[in-house]
A and B are shown apart, each in its own frame.
Chain A
């Protein structure tokens, strides 16, 4: 069966520090991968998605970037965090663009 792993579960970082969140999927090949953010009291915002290795689509201009170095690995990064980067980050995968399956999320607090 397929599983998705996302870590860390919580992270507290100072403003201006770098960020790296990792997401990996097991049990499937060539999944579509997604990064979402939920700010406090707001809905889901799609940040990036990828349909293959090295293929990244950015949905909104921001302080973040994404990379897909391997088929089932999706990384969310920032060189310098802003206060506004705080939120709950969710990774998801889907096969052929159908049902999306979500990871447990990372709670990021930028102080």
Chain B
């Protein structure tokens, strides 16, 4: 069965510090992977996606993620956090006709 695990339901970093949100997946087929962001009381917005090809994927707002097959990981990073990055982040795996989501990680930015 396919599954997604996000390590850490809450992550707190200082403004200007590195952001690292962890995602591991389980899939018996080559995965399509996504990161979404959700700001309070809003829908989800796609940050980036990995399908095939280059394993380092760049997304919006300065975020990027690296697909590592050997580690079954797709961690999300940003070199320097901004206050506007405070939100909930979801990692997702493409399943049959639907996405399999992780439980989400709430990112807090400290001034």
Seen from chain A, the residues whose Cβ lies within 8 Å of a Cβ on chain B are: 6, 32, 34, 42-44, 46, 49, 51, 57, 88, 90, 92, 97-105, 107
B13 to chain A, nearest CB (A): 21
Instruction: Among A46, A97, A99, A104, point to the contact of B34 (Cβ < 8 A).
Output: A99
B interface residues, how many (CB within 8 angstroms)? 20
Interface of A is mostly: strand
Contact A104-B49, Cβ < 8 Å, known A43-B102, A97-B98, A99-B34: no
Q: Is residue B57 within 8 Å, beta carbon to beta carbon, of the partner chain? A: no
Q: Is residue B101 within 8 Å, beta carbon to beta carbon, of the partner chain? A: yes
Residues of chain B lying within 8 A (CB to CB) of residue A6: 43
Residues of chain A lying within 8 A (CB to CB) of residue B67: none
